[in-house]
C-alpha cells in the first residue's frame, strides 16, 4: 500500500496566494521525485476545540488559516529517497521566504492501512 506524508500548518490568511505559489513549486518537485499525489486544503470549517483541535495544534493566530496537506507515495522507500532529493533540490533551497511559520508545522509519515475509493 501507499505511504503518506501529512502536514498541518497555520498560514497568514493574507498570504494565501504566496502559499499557493510556494506549494505549486514544491508539488512539481515532489512529483518529479516519485510522489503520486499532492493535496493542499485551505481551511474552511476548522473549529477551535476545548481540548484539542487543528487551530490549537498549530497555535493559529487570529489572522491565520489552517492548511491540511498530504503527499501520497508508492511506498516508504521511494518516499525516503524522494524527500532527500527534494531537500537537496536547488529550487527548494532557493525558496527563502516561506509564507508560513515552519516551526509550527505538524508533520509525519503514515502507512496506509485502509483505502476505499
Is the confidence at residue 77, as pLDDT, over 90? yes
User: Would you say residue 46 lies in a domain?
Assistant: yes
Structural domains counted in the chain:
1
Residue 94, domain CATH: 3.30.70.100
pLDDT band of residue 85 (cuts 50, 70, 90) is very high
Per-residue pLDDT of 21-50, as tens digits, reads 999 999 999 999 999 999 999 999 999 999
Is the confidence at residue 108, as pLDDT, over 90? yes
User: Would you say residue 64 lies in a domain?
Assistant: yes
Domain region containing 99: 3-111
User: Would you say residue 117 lies in a domain?
Assistant: no
Q: In what order do the strands lie in the sheet with 64-73?
A: 37-42, 64-73, 3-12, 106-111
Is the confidence at residue 117, as pLDDT, over 90? no
pLDDT the model gives residue 110: 98
Amino acid at each position: 500500500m501507499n505511504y503518506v506524508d501529512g502536514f498541518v500548518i497555520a498560514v497568514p490568511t493574507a498570504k494565501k496566494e504566496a502559499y499557493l505559489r510556494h506549494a505549486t513549486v514544491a508539488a512539481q518537485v515532489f512529483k518529479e521525485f516519485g510522489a503520486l499525489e499532492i493535496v493542499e486544503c485551505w481551511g474552511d470549517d476548522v473549529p477551535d476545540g476545548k481540548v484539542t483541535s487543528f487551530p490549537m495544534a498549530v497555535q493559529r493566530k487570529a489572522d491565520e488559516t489552517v492548511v491540511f496537506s498530504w503527499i501520497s507515495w508508492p511506498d516508504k522507500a521511494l518516499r525516503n529517497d524522494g524527500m532527500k532529493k527534494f531537500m537537496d533540490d536547488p529550487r527548494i533551497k532557493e525558496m527563502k521566504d516561506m509564507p508560513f511559520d515552519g516551526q509550527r508545522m505538524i508533520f509525519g509519515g503514515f502507512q496506509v492501512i485502509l483505502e476505499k475509493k
